[in-house]
Chain A
Amino acid sequence: MEPVKNTKDRIVWHKACHVEDIPEDGGGCALIEGKQIAIFNFARRGEWFATDNQCPHRQQMAVARGMIGSQDGEPKVACPFHKKTFSLQTGQCLNDDAYRINTFPVMVRENQVYVGL
């Protein structure tokens, strides 16, 4: 598989997990350098995304357990606690301007998922 994100210079790629560790059209949380990163296998779009696992609304570590989907074509994830939804592309909260999360590039090589921090 080709990397699906444009990579910037000096990104450090971290091996996160195997492809099959993340359910299709769902997410999982990886521990990378002591940080909790939510990784999404958006199989329906053939894309991978990574974001903070912490939802900034109530500081809960659960974004990876949220449902993914799209809004007007923009891929998004809904936090399971109070359904704050975040763009998987920009990290901006789509139903409350006050919040946003970090997004990270993802690369898939030889059945391994890498996240750039």
Chain B
Amino acid sequence: MREQNTTNIIVIGNGMVGYKFCEKLLSKQKNDLVFSITVFGEEPRPAYDRVHLSEFFAGKTGDDLTMASMDWYSKNGIRLFLSDPVVDINRQEKLVRSHHGHIVHYDYLIMATGSGAFVPSIPGVEKDGVFVYRTIEDLELIQSYARKAKNGAVLGGGLLGLEAAKALLDLGLQQAHVVEFAPRLMPRQIDDAGSKMLQNQLEGLGLNIHLLKSTQEIKGGDTIEGMQFADGSFLEVDMLVISAGIRPRDELAKIAGLETHPRGGIVVDNMLTTSDPNIFAIGECALAHHMIYGLIAPGYEMAEVVATYLTGGTKEFLPFDMSTKLKLIGTDVASFGDPFIEEPACKTIRYENKAKGVYKRINVSIDGKELLGGILVGDAEQYNMLLQTCKSKTILPPDSEDLILGSRGGEEASAATSVGGVMSLPDDALICSCEAVTKGMICQEVSENGHTTIDAIKKCCKAGTGCGGCLPMVKDIIQGVLKQNGVYVKNIICEHFDYSRQELLDLVKINGIRTYNGVLNHFGHGDGCEVCKPLVGSLLASLWNENILQKDRAPIQDSNDRYLANIQKGGTYSVVPRIPGGEITPEKLIVIGQVAQRYGLYTKITGGQRIDLFGAHLNDLPAIWEQLIAVGFESGHAYGKSLRTVKSCVGSTWCRFGVQDSVSFAIEVEDRYKGLRSPHKLKSAVSGCVRECAEAQSKDFGIIATEKGWNLYVCGNGGSKPQHAQLIATDVDKETCIRLIDRFLMFYIKTADPLTRTATWLNKMEGGINYLKAVVVDDVLGIGEELEKNMQALIEVYKCEWKEVVESPELRKRFSHFVNAPIKDPNIEFETMRDQKKAKEWV
């Protein structure tokens, strides 16, 4: 009989944790266990993401925040009663009664009633214009009231309070105040110094912060007019949002006679069982380990523990790490471990940079070996590394300040980088997030199963087979493990070449070799592969700058270089003409439009200030380029590991702030280095003043105008691991700037590992930025002149490679999908989107 095997579960509360419990229980449900789940929720809508509640003001709707639709509940056989809170529990008969009179039997009852806003008993809190900040309904009320309000205040300087204050500003109030009883903001997460730094940042955004203010009374008639403080001062406001903390919703538990704590919370044990063994409490209503866990992660963990227990497993809820990192109105704030432990129980290291709004503090054990906790404000990039170091009790380096200050050049630099390197990560650090592969799993494959190549690792544990972004880290781990095991690791290219890229470049150069087979015959063995072929192709181009498709070089080029275009989903290509500095005439714009129309191309502005034309058939590429070249366009090398764009702001020609002509300089720089092939792609930008609208500091080399000349920054990166470029020359003139870039780029081309961006190259460089600066600016190696000469030689032989293809019948012939039929690939299909086409989604 089916009925007998069915376990009735009732969940009281349809918040995030209550929802997550249902989801987890369903996923763990086995064949022999059938659950009948009933959920009672007080709010009128199904569970939504309360953590991102403030995004409601940024334009998200209630539906956007919904965790699962009503459909989800019905599909999974869950009975959901909304706007229908449970009002009584009969524990003897195991029945609950709801507000609307539903009486339902349970075998197990899950209390996920959450918490409500804590409203302090201040005279006047009942006045119109006083709100709490807890539900979507609260936010709707705030939103409509704010339309006629001018000055608003938030009571409470915690995380939610600060978000609420920002929301008031965004809603158009003239003034937004934050009133906090404690001497600092976010008192649970950060210390006084961190709070000061945060306060500076927030005041810069227009918030008014009042600390150490005890609110005595809310003044006004029916409607709020101001706040009277204990120190005699008065703040005139016409609306107030109370965000003074949370209060666990334990009133139902009290009625049912379950044990609750005098200061709130349903008391539970490590299994989250209340004083009644058939009733559990999870989330913010539960008091576990003598505390209320007011974060979402421990709430989810509680849901996991109970769902595991009900499906026959065992799991305990252990004291949960409350480390947090969040972006608060644009400012990073993080705390981890024990942020507040004081000397003499530990040694504390503090770093403060008021100009940048950065405060960092770490607490180190007395013996200097362990990281106990810390606080980061303004820059929390090191949070994950620090948290892992703290949790895994990694032994610290002798100079533990390196943890927050980073490598500072000189002798210490290598010690510091070894701390930041991938081998210092704990074994459970996630390396490949696509396939959920940890560092430990990769290490095991390398040392125990002998998988010591990228390919072998890809095959045995799938790391790096998704987006491939982790492959450099995987390679470092393989080499690190081999080194640890005492194996001498030579950084060789692949099974066909026993040399590093740098060694091979020197050999090829000295011997003047210009073909792939020549290089393979002289210095390699076997038949080559997809690793060494494009690498040698890049070397040859960096050395001689001949057309990459001529001689035997076409079939050694990687997917994009092979046809001088970017291969896209479906097998079509995208075309990007060069638009130096982002400057373009109306005439040229028209031609781009005409070409796109004629060949049915999807057009999009790129991040590098040019125009990308997608969906071109291989067969059409030469004709498309013929038309573009006819009006003066050149290849944009969007397909190459080479100079992409030099972005610019409009500069002093039009901008009222500009101090130099950034567009002219950007065009000059782009024209100089166009077609330059390098170990990886190169991006650049020129800004006309310190406002930095061209974002030059995120580029491989960036130039920012000053009153006196130009500042040169190098080795910046956007992308998945953003890194700011570092200053190597100040107030130099154009000629000097160009000379330094010549040296910098040639030094990079000569010494970097394959597919290594300048930022990673610098991070691996012994001596770091100081060494790089010494080589490029001070010329300590005495190679400056040679580097400049090499660069000049490459620039002199530059030719637009597309022009050469268009003019060569031999090369043009290769741009055909079939060798035996003059037709395009009939398998290519497109779909329509917003009046343009897109590639058909792949299976």
* A residues near B825, Cβ cutoff 8 Å: 36, 61
* B residues near A45, Cβ cutoff 8 Å: 527
Q: How many A-B residue pairs have CB under 8 A?
A: 114
Is A39 interfacial (CB-CB < 8 Å)? yes
Closest Cβ of chain B to A30, distance in Å, is 5
B820 touches A75 (CB 8 A): no
Is B827 interfacial (CB-CB < 8 Å)? yes
Query: A29-B819, A62-B567, A65-B563 are contacts. A23–B527 as well, Cβ < 8 Å?
Result: no
Within B552-607, which residues are at the interface with A (CB < 8 Å)? 552, 554-559, 562-563, 567, 569-571
Is A22 interfacial (CB-CB < 8 Å)? yes
Is B8 interfacial (CB-CB < 8 Å)? no
**CA gap between A60 and B828 in the complex, in Å:** 9
* B residues near A73, Cβ cutoff 8 Å: 526
Query: A58-B843, A70-B526, A70-B528 are contacts. A96–B555 as well, Cβ < 8 Å?
Result: no
A23 touches B820 (CB 8 A): no
Query: A44-B517, A61-B827, A96-B458 are contacts. A26–B530 as well, Cβ < 8 Å?
Result: no
* A residues near B488, Cβ cutoff 8 Å: none
Closest Cβ of chain A to B529, distance in Å, is 3
* A residues near B823, Cβ cutoff 8 Å: 31
A30 touches B819 (CB 8 A): yes
Is B817 interfacial (CB-CB < 8 Å)? yes
A65 touches B819 (CB 8 A): no
A27 touches B555 (CB 8 A): yes
Closest Cβ of chain A to B842, distance in Å, is 4
* B residues near A62, Cβ cutoff 8 Å: 567, 571
Query: A31-B821, A67-B534 are contacts. A76–B571 as well, Cβ < 8 Å?
Result: no
B570 touches A76 (CB 8 A): no
Query: A23-B554, A25-B552, A65-B562 are contacts. A60–B571 as well, Cβ < 8 Å?
Result: yes
CB-CB nearest in chain A for B618: A65
**CA gap between A28 and B563 in the complex, in Å:** 13
* B residues near A75, Cβ cutoff 8 Å: 527
Query: A17-B820, A59-B843 are contacts. A94–B527 as well, Cβ < 8 Å?
Result: no
* A residues near B502, Cβ cutoff 8 Å: none
* A residues near B562, Cβ cutoff 8 Å: 65, 80
Q: What would 26 A/B residue contacts be, using CB atoms closer than 8 Å?
A: A16-B820, A17-B819, A23-B814, A24-B555, A25-B552, A25-B556, A30-B820, A31-B821, A36-B818, A39-B819, A44-B527, A58-B842, A59-B842, A60-B842, A61-B817, A61-B827, A65-B567, A67-B556, A69-B529, A69-B533, A70-B496, A72-B495, A78-B530, A82-B468, A83-B530, A96-B465
Q: A24-B552, A30-B818 known; 20 other A-B pairs, CB under 8 Å? A: A16-B819, A22-B819, A24-B555, A25-B516, A25-B552, A28-B819, A31-B821, A36-B818, A36-B825, A60-B842, A61-B827, A65-B559, A65-B562, A66-B559, A68-B555, A69-B526, A70-B526, A81-B559, A83-B530, A95-B459
9 tightest Cβ-Cβ pairs between the two chains A and B:
A26-B555, A69-B529, A80-B559, A78-B530, A70-B527, A28-B819, A21-B819, A67-B530, A17-B819
